Amino acid sequence: MKKVRRKIGKYEVGRTIGEGTFAKVKFARNSETGESVAIKVMAKTTILQHRMVEQIKREISIMKIVRHPNIVRLHEVLASQTKIYIILEFVMGGELYDKIVQLGKLSENESRHYFQQLIDAVDHCHRKGVYHRDLKPENLLLDAYGNLKVSDFGLSALTKQGADLLHTTCGTPNYVAPEVLSNRGYDGAAADVWSCGVILYVLMAGYLPFEEADLPTLYRRINAAEFVCPFWFSADTKSFIQKILDPNPKTRVKIEEIRKDPWFKKNYFPVKLGEDEQVNLDDVRAVFDDIEDQYVSERSEITEGGPLIMNAFEMIALSQGLNLSPLFDRHQDYVKRQTRFVSRKPAKVIISSIEAVAESMGLKVHSRNYKVRLEGVSANRVGQFAVVLEVFEVAPSLFMVDVRKATGDTFDYHKFYKNFCGKLGNIIWRPAGTMPNSNLRKQMTL
């Protein structure tokens, strides 16, 4: 078996940290500066096949336009003959979604803090004529200092201020404003504000204000703004959220009014913005106009052996500093849609055990180079569910198995991970002193 370590231009490319229908996201390091980055990799054939050129050009251009401390930064865009590489800021704190699941719900003060940062970022976008249109906790990341970063502008729209209404129905149903569902056109700014209100509710309640098993009932409740605040919401919080979740976009509170509200202003420290940077879209044009002299070199360093070796810079980024305990105490990162466990068994034994357990669970198994993709039907029997597992060597005779959701619902993934790991007890290594159970594990199994 051969191990491959790739280099794209000046970036040393490591493990896959995210995987979707059309792209993979790789962890990488700038070999010139030592900076950690995330690289979104897309095949040109896929982009052309699905006619996504304009959508991706728009997403990249928008991310360059909306540079802000609370928005994931796009560094540059590169291309090889077969792939496009979007170089992004590496945000190591994970998704805000994970924190909500882990804690159940956040305090009013912490929720307010994240909401203030969200409003700062969304307001900045709107001032640039950009409307996100898919705001939800899964698209909000946290950096190493706990600061919120808005990500995923794949469904965003860029318009001139004062332009006509938007007409594309898009977004995630539970977070979508009533007017977006009406197919009569909508104001992108008002629709984003509604989504921010749903996010605030979720932060403080720990569950969605609008959630139904079937879409017609869900849409009826959204159109009527039919929701109930839990008893622990303060009167001021209830009043504030009701102003945001107003089904009439014309009377719904606007961002400038949100900023003046006493609830919002408490402990608010406006973000300091530098001067507007000059936006250069030359690399975007070069990538999509197929200028051959803009191609970046791709190199693969191939050595004989087993799984990829995870080097020091990946280990440090993975463990958020020098605290390596999440690698060994599995419950600490149990709720993430990307999880991991450690084994002292030989890599081939790990792979064969994974395959055997997956087959016993009725999952389709695809294996290649110490990487396994498992596919099945989601728990509610509605859609597909897929998980990718990859084995890394972190030290002699010590292997880390990285597990991540590829498609399907995140809660389905949590259930799968718990069940799957329970069947892999013979290969999972737990050093002496780590706890086999936790309060979170008990909460997740209720």
Detail the residues annotated as belonging to a binding site.
40
In our burial notation (b when 16+ CB lie closer than 10 A, e otherwise), range 133-144 reads bbbbbbbbbbbe
Closest to 16 (Cα-Cα) out of 7, 24, 8: 24
Tokens representing 319 are 């463990």
- Match 């590169």 to its residue by tokens: 78
Tokens representing 61 are 């251009």
**Cα 229 from chain centroid?**
27
Task: Provide the annotated active-site residues.
Answer: 134
First to last CA, the chain: 43
Count of beta carbons in the 10 Å neighbourhood of residue 373: 18
Rounded CA gap, 52 and 55, in Å? 5
List binding-site positions for ATP.
40
Please give, one letter per residue, the 3-state secondary structure of the chain.
CEEEEEEECCEEEEEEEEECCCCEEEEEEECCCCCEEEEEEEEHHHHHHCCCHHHHHHHHHHHHHCCCCCECCEEEEEECCCEEEEEEECCCCCEHHHHHHHHCCCCHHHHHHHHHHHHHHHHHHHHCCEECCCCCHHHEEECCCCCEEECCCCCCEECCCCCCCECCCCCCHHHCCHHHHCCCCECHHHHHHHHHHHHHHHHHHCCCCCCCCCHHHHHHHHHCCCCCCCCCCCHHHHHHHHHHCCCCCCCCCCHHHHHHCHHHHCCCCCCCCCCCCCCCCHHHHHHHCCCHHHECCEEEEEEECCCEECCHHHHHHHCCCCCCHHHHCHHHHCCCCEEEEEECCCHHHHHHHHHHHHHHCCCEEEEECCEEEEEEECCCCCCEEEEEEEEEEEECCEEEEEEEEEECCHHHHHHHHHHHHHCCCCCCCCCCCCCCCCHHHHHHHC
Rounded alpha-carbon distances, angstroms, from residue 252 to 177, 334, 343? 11, 38, 53
